Amino acid sequence: MSQQGQSFMKGTLVLSVAAFINRILGFISGMYIARLLGAEGIGLLMMAHPLVPLVITITELGLPVAISKLVAEAHARGEREKVRRILHVSLAVTSVLSVTLTTLSLLGSEWIASILLSDQRAYYAMLAITPIAPIVAVSAVLKGYFRGMQQMKTIAASDVLEHTVQIACVLALVHLLLPYGVAYAAAGAMAASVVSEAISLLFLVISYKVYGEQKLPGETWASHLKQGRGTLGELLQIGLPTTGHGIIHSLYGTFQPLLITTSLALAGIGTAAATQQFGLLAGFAFPLLFMPSFITQSLSTALIPAIGEAAANKNSLLIHERMNQATSMGLLIGAPATVILYEWATPLTTLIYNAPEAGLLLKILAPMFFLHYFDAPLHAILLGLGRAKAMLWNYIIATVMKGIAIFVLGSQFGIIGVAYGIGIGIVMQALLNFFSISGSIGFYWNIRPYIKVGICSMLMAICGHWTYNYTVSHGMPDLWCVIASIVCSLCLYLITLVLTGTLTWKSARHKFSIPW
């Protein structure tokens, strides 16, 4: 593996470790809030939250993704002044937009609450979370810069710091405000998010002052903004399709529950039962399906500037090397995750949620979700190559087809049909992104590693099935049966990967290497 490839994989590893830590911290924080506020308080939080992601999506204009790509390209060409111009123009645009929209949201907060909030007690929580928009927008711009410079440790440290501070603030504010009522306690939990984001932003600003590009004599904000029209055009060429993707994703997420419950109603399922079945799918199956994707999400974060830098240097060999690393990681993570979620579907949903009926939905979706672990890297490759419009159209087509499949299959076969409809959308999006990349620069497919991983996965499934049945037959508690069988199957998976030469460990450099 080349030195650049090792640097790319190291950045991915750093972000993956940070994402894992943040997941644990987020779980602890969420569990604490849920127990303290109860279902009523959590309901108020959920009502107050949806407006903020839409405001952030609009104010960011997709610039963080564009920044990481353009900064990586400019840095590769040694254009230090352009690197700073990209950052200054982006900060100016996002600051003006975010402050304007946040001010309008605060001034019109009562009117917005009267329309969006079914429970007006959520007004205080909505008011508390609104100021987070400009903080998140500016932080996202700085993170885009650090991604472009491939300084992933800074991003990882800021994320961990944010979640750590959030837990401390939640402990303090919720305890302080709970005696005044659950509405004020929910607002305190929201305010904790604002404080933690502000601390994270402060860390990023200090890091930029210490590690950022030093300005040349005569450089000023005004000079960069005067010469920034062309730079803004480059940013928006990538950013606007990304913004469109975010808006469509937000709108679809808003209407998906209505689409699913309507299709279930046409299948003759009552409202209460439809709500319960939707909860099994969205509340129980989805979190387990998305859990392993934090690694591929971290990979895609590092991949955009890596592909952009290679494209700027016209190094097609390096582009394909990094694409190979990305798809390899997706395969090595996705294969065992799919086996576990399929083989132990019902035991997992029973142990974690006490909902064995969700196991069937998890088993249906797990095989189709295998392609989801490739989709984030494929998405990042398209953005790194500057194919943001292709990415947007692929998402629109897949989302429309997913909606149609959910409605048609759900109205005929109930929640089982809904699960298949969602799976069809996932498969279609991954395939469309793959074909877009193939049509742009080609995609060299070596089938042998996929066959090897497939064989290793089959052996893992057989081992897991036998071990689970063996431990159950000997009267072990369900929890230990699941843990023991999953651990044994994963050990066999790793051993067979090594024996087949699919995975190697270079002890001299302590680098993770996939010799494909």
Over residues 296-331, the pLDDT tens digits come to 777 777 777 778 777 777 778 888 888 887 888 888
Q: Are residues 2 and 132 in the same domain?
A: yes
Residue 58 has pLDDT above 90, yes or no: no
Q: What's the confidence (pLDDT) of residue 199?
A: 93
- Residue 165: partners with Cβ closer than 8 Å, 6 or more residues away: 195, 196, 199, 200
Mean pLDDT of the chain: 80
Reported as type and span, the H/E element at residue 513 is strand 511-513
Q: Are residues 80 and 158 in the same domain?
A: yes
Q: State the CB neighbour count (10 A cutoff) for residue 316.
A: 12
Does the reported pTM lie above 0.75?
Answer: no
Question: Which of 370 and 77 is assigned the larger pLDDT?
Answer: 370
Mean pLDDT lowest among 81-95, 363-377, 460-474: 81-95
Q: Would you say residue 206 lies in a domain?
A: yes
- If pLDDT is split at 50, 70 and 90, which confidence band does 43 have? low
Strand partners, 504: 513
- If pLDDT is split at 50, 70 and 90, which confidence band does 27 have? low
Q: What's the confidence (pLDDT) of residue 56?
A: 76
Q: Of the residues 416, 443, 470, which one is the last residue of a structural domain?
A: 443
Q: What's the confidence (pLDDT) of residue 96?
A: 85
Q: Would you say residue 260 lies in a domain?
A: no
Question: Which of 341 and 128 is assigned the larger pLDDT?
Answer: 341
Question: Which of 340 and 253 is assigned the larger pLDDT?
Answer: 340
Q: Find, among 164, 161, 157, 100, the residue nearest to 133 by Cα.
A: 100
Q: Would you say residue 246 lies in a domain?
A: no
For the CA atoms of the chain, what is the radius of gyration? 24
Q: Are residues 181 and 229 in the same domain?
A: yes
Q: Would you say residue 261 lies in a domain?
A: no
Q: Would you say residue 258 lies in a domain?
A: no
Q: Are residues 430 and 352 in the same domain?
A: yes
Q: Please state, in angstroms and rounded to a whole number, the distance separating the CA atoms of residues 452 and 460.
A: 12
Q: Are residues 396 and 478 in the same domain?
A: no
Please report, as a single letter, which amino acid is at residue 41. Answer: G
Q: Would you say residue 13 lies in a domain?
A: yes
Q: What's the confidence (pLDDT) of residue 364?
A: 93
Q: Would you say residue 263 lies in a domain?
A: no
- If pLDDT is split at 50, 70 and 90, which confidence band does 86 have? confident
For the stretch 203-224, pLDDT in tens is 999 988 887 666 655 555 555 5
Q: Are residues 391 and 463 in the same domain?
A: no
Q: Please state, in angstroms and rounded to a whole number, the distance separating the CA atoms of residues 167 and 161.
A: 10
Residue 462 has pLDDT above 50, yes or no: yes
Q: Kindly write down the DSSP assignment for every residue of 93-107, as one continuous string.
A: HHHHHHHHHHHHHHH
The per-residue b/e assignment along 114-136, b for 16 or more CB within 10 angstroms, e otherwise, is eeebeeebbbbbbbbbbbbbbbb
Residue 347 tokens read as 């035991």
Q: Would you say residue 385 lies in a domain?
A: yes
| Domain hosting residue 284, numbered range | 268-443
Q: Find, among 60, 96, 67, the residue nearest to 83 by Cα.
A: 67
> Phi, psi at residue 513, to the nearest 5°?
-130, 135
Q: Are residues 210 and 322 in the same domain?
A: no
How many residues belong to the chain?
Answer: 516
Q: Of the residues 392, 427, 443, which one is the last residue of a structural domain?
A: 443
Q: Are residues 190 and 45 in the same domain?
A: yes
Q: Are residues 235 and 188 in the same domain?
A: yes
Provide the domain count of the chain: 3
